[in-house]
A and B are shown apart, each in its own frame.
Chain A
């Protein structure tokens, strides 16, 4: 795998898998309005995944290699994206989206001046959408953090998700080359520091306690090296089962040429 491919798989897989999870809330969200908002976000993320997978397709991959027939161990997303939701635990998608979208903005900003034009040219559209996602998560966080039960639920979600969120910044095999070739203009270590500087004070300002990054127990699965939690293997099985049952020659594209 080239450094460019590693970078693209990390981007695309994160977006695809988190969107796959978000759609589980459709029809089940607390109100009609929150249902619509989260559905919007899920669709944006699917759209972003498609956009990054497209860049890989321009380099010879086919959709079936990228999603439908790829071994689950070959996916490179952060474990934050793959975790199953507990029924009714609305605090989880809110906290997850805040942690993810804050990291996503930093990561995209470090791609604006990418040496790869196929990446640099696509970042602008994504950044504007990620801003909306973060605002959405923050407005929910600020409300939920005030209540009694809801505060506890947010704290519990944060405790559970934070160690997994650290895997967003887990380097892959080609991390050095990704930076030295200017594909991404900042290292993952620097991005993680910036992410701490934003998320920790913000969450603390809401009265939440943030786990100490250096001391928190990290899960064995780090995502970026293909190790994943059991939730991922269940999810992968559930979204590929119909594809295999149908046995079509190709996953269907609905976009016209050049669209």
Chain B
């Protein structure tokens, strides 16, 4: 199949490993799914701290289950990426720890307090869920299939995240103020979560033409703002003044001042060159190297298990 035919036939779940697809499509799909899988792993680095901090046994169980789900999603997604025949899971994991794997901007910022739990588990995950819901209609069938399970589980995570926010904002004034302060810091990052405006996006056009993406960055951001600004306000959060966001009654859209956002930081992050990137990727590398001896000994063990049969 050539690229023109791919564009013609592009549609929800249009292509599967049975199709002979051009390299350009397979590489673009790999890049997108690998980014998604890496984000699940790196999101886990933030989220795992909330398990330790959780202020009740039930919350702790929900937090640990969430981290487990994220690793489960990474497993599913790397598998979906492997079906494209471009990279193996090992290669993708190696790239991640070498600082060559890309992942969501929000996961380049280390966290340290429970007040950040709703930022990640409600707003960032809420945004992720919006994006993932549209990917159920992506053209690479194994990716869409993975999204069915991922979206189902994400629904629980976002509900839990919302409940953490509700609880914090219904508690002491001091807690409310700390959540607001945390929100002020996180909100611009969350708005940037959906990537640059359409006009500045590198991969948008092609990914949409071949049906990998079904909705543009700007449309996703708009849908997110429509749903989550009223929720933030409902719990008593105020939007920071920057970036400027105004609701236009006529178009029923939030008009965002894109230039208010720090795109230089965004692009630095996109290259994994941000200070937080070093910290997060470094943590990943350090942890992964610390258990390299286990993987090596497993490989040796598997070889030794095969050897007797080979001799027969």
- Give me the interface of A with B, judged by CB distance under 8 Å: 16, 20, 23, 26-36, 39-40, 42-43, 46-47, 49-50, 53, 63, 67-68, 87-88, 90, 143-144, 146-147, 149-150, 153, 238-239, 241-243, 245-248, 251-255
A29 and B293 in contact, given A46-B60, A47-B61 (Cβ under 8 angstroms) = no
Identity of the chain B residue whose Cβ is nearest the Cβ of A243 in the assembled complex: B55
Interchain CB contact under 8 A, A63 and B55: no
Q: A-B pairs with CB below 8 Å: how many?
A: 140
Name the contact of B294 in the complex, choosing from A36, A68, A90, A246 (C-beta under 8 A).
A90
Q: What's the Cα separation between A226 and B75 when bound, in Å?
A: 42
Given contacts A88-B290, A241-B53, 8 further A-B contacts (CB under 8 A): A20-B52, A26-B68, A27-B44, A31-B295, A36-B72, A146-B304, A242-B113, A246-B168
Identity of the chain A residue whose Cβ is nearest the Cβ of B59 in the assembled complex: A252
Name the contact of A46 in the complex, choosing from B64, B113, B298 (C-beta under 8 A).
B64
Interchain CB contact under 8 A, B55 and A68: yes
27 contacts between A and B (CB under 8 A): A16-B57, A26-B48, A27-B41, A27-B48, A36-B71, A42-B64, A43-B61, A53-B57, A87-B290, A88-B289, A88-B290, A88-B291, A143-B297, A146-B300, A146-B301, A146-B304, A149-B296, A150-B293, A241-B53, A248-B167, A251-B55, A251-B56, A253-B58, A254-B56, A254-B58, A254-B59, A254-B160
Interface string of B60-71 (1 = CB under 8 A from A): 111011011001
Name the contact of A247 in the complex, choosing from B48, B163, B172 (C-beta under 8 A).
B172
Identity of the chain B residue whose Cβ is nearest the Cβ of A33 in the assembled complex: B75
Q: Is B231 an interface residue (CB 8 A)?
A: no
Interface of B is mostly: helix
A147 and B48 in contact, given A26-B67, A46-B61, A241-B53 (Cβ under 8 angstroms) = no
Q: What's the Cα separation between A243 and B53 when bound, in Å?
A: 8
Interchain CB contact under 8 A, A252 and B68: no
Give the chain B neighbours of A50 by CB distance below 8 A: 57-58, 61
Give the chain B neighbours of A88 by CB distance below 8 A: 287, 289-291, 293
Q: Is B51 an interface residue (CB 8 A)?
A: yes
Name the contact of A67 in the complex, choosing from B57, B68, B301 (C-beta under 8 A).
B57
Interchain CB contact under 8 A, A40 and B68: yes
A63 and B291 in contact, given A26-B51, A143-B301, A248-B167 (Cβ under 8 angstroms) = no
Q: What's the Cα separation between A9 and B294 when bound, in Å?
A: 35
Interchain CB contact under 8 A, A32 and B171: no
Q: What's the Cα separation between A245 and B175 when bound, in Å?
A: 9
